[in-house]
Amino acid sequence: MTDRGRAGAPVLLQVDSSADRRAGSVTRELGAAYARGWLARHPDGVRRYRDLAAAPVPPLGQGYVSLGTRVERHGVVPPEKVAALAEGADEEREWAVSLPLITEVREATTLLVGAPMYNFSVPAALKAWIDRITFPGAYVDPDGGGSLLAGVRVVVVAACGGGYGAGAPRAGWDFQVPYLRAYFVNLGVAEGEVRVVRAEFTRAGDVAGLGRFREAAVRGLARARGEVAALAAEG
């Protein structure tokens, strides 16, 4: 992976999106475990953290749309040159919010995303962040045209209250993991570098209709913890 941190140090950008900020959040637990393992593997590494529930990213406004459209008409424009194309206070405000988020992603060597399933998809807080960082040309090499994220690893720690694995009655209702895989690959991350760990039946302990899946939930969480530890050890 390409080193982009201070003095060549690897950078972990950790993003949490669960609205449940208590100790019981599975995605927050798994994400924290991965971060600890990653830091142990990279004692010189830089960890950056963003909690989208505690500090929500604002949804896109008209200024983002108009600025993005203008930038697209100019071809690939590096982020440091976008401000010169902004017209008016609205576009300037939208870019001022977007640029720090985009910069964090561009500087990361590993991107860790905590993503619970909300209503078969991802939380609105995560979607707002995704929309905001997906600015035209932000991850394209202006010289060669290749992806600046080709060497980045994305680790998604996901959780869902029920079961959506292959063969499950609601397998076709899963718009969480397939969406995130497609999104990051489309953004320029190599398909093999998008790694997903998901714990299922996380609501089996408090939803009566899922009570029969409690043992499966315990086994699944144990497996997810093991997968997270193994991924962190890989670097």
Which pLDDT does position 3 carry in this prediction?
40
3-state secondary structure of 94: helix
| Positions in the chain whose pLDDT score sits under 50 | 1-3, 6
Domains (ranges, CATH) in the chain? 6-234 (3.40.50.360)
Query: Could you identify the residue written with the tokens 């913890």?
Result: 225
Which pLDDT does position 1 carry in this prediction?
37
**Where are the extended beta strands (E) located within the chain?**
11-16, 46-51, 110-116, 153-159, 194-199
Query: What gap in Å lies between CA 16 and CA 24, rounded to an integer?
Result: 14
Q: Report CA 162 to chain centroid distance, whole Å.
A: 22
Which pLDDT does position 24 carry in this prediction?
84
Which pLDDT does position 117 carry in this prediction?
97
